[in-house]
Amino acid sequence: MLPWLAENSAELPHKVPATSLAKLVRDDVLAGILNGSLTPGQRINEPDVAARLNVSRVPVREALRELESSGVVVSRKHAGVFVRQLGWVEVRDLYQLRALLDGFAGRAAAQLPKKERDRLVKFLVSTTSSMKDAFQCADANRYYAENLRFHWAIVEAAGNVQMAEIYRGIVQKLHISRLKNLSGNRGRKASIAEHQTIVRALRQGDFAQAELLMTRHVEDALVRLEENSQMEPPP
């Protein structure tokens, strides 16, 4: 399971330390944001969260503070806590940073020992096939989830824990706006073709090509996003 696609719980256990309980609440609220049940701009009601999870408001407040520090929610004085709404400039900046990290990950993954690289390629081929199926069934959410699985597998394979943590934070923020900004059919078809070329470079161990293709793939995704987005880019 991807770190940003965890299922949220109906009720949390109580015989755990307060700090751990806050983390469980955080993960539950984050899951709600990332699965779309909490939408961009929506107010997060502390009493409702506490009642639903059968906890006090203390761990809920702590959880929301942590989510605010990670940029997923925003607190407004005298108004409450709301799910972040990303503007075009922030989305662009995040994509540019993500392109650098994806390129790094592609280069590192292509330099893995052959046995490890072959195992990664086998997984990526399966994921790309699932993306094709989702595309043919017009299942945008499934396509998006498989796309995340593809990229996250390469990031994990790169073996840089700090980079993976930064990457996860970037994708979590971008994930918030996914329902409004999924690219159209033409974009998804192009994206699948790009994934296939990335897999070929990884299979061959061509680290320079893998880095270039991963970077361009994310840059092209930003262009497609601008063409299909409901956000208004700056003049």
Q: Which of 38, 56, 83 is the last residue of a domain?
A: 83
Q: What residues make up the domain containing 35?
A: 18-83
| Higher pLDDT, residue 33 or 56 | 56
- What is the tens place of the pLDDT at every residue in 77-122? 989 999 988 888 999 999 999 999 999 999 999 999 999 999 999 9
d(CA 211, CA 196): 14
* 126: number of Cβ within 10 Å: 13
For residue 60, the domain's CATH number is 1.10.10.10
Kindly report the average pLDDT of the chain as a whole number. Answer: 86
- What is the tens place of the pLDDT at every residue in 46-78? 999 999 999 999 999 999 999 998 888 999 998
Query: What average pLDDT does the segment 149-158 reach?
Result: 96
**pTM summary value:** 0.78
Q: What percent of the chain has pLDDT over 70?
A: 85
Q: Quick check: is 206 in a domain?
A: yes
Is 74 found in the same domain as 116?
no
Q: Quick check: is 176 in a domain?
A: yes
Phi first, then psi, for residue 13 (nearest 5°) are: -70, 155
Amino acid letter, 35: N
d(CA 53, CA 9): 8
The whole-number pLDDT of residue 234 equals 43
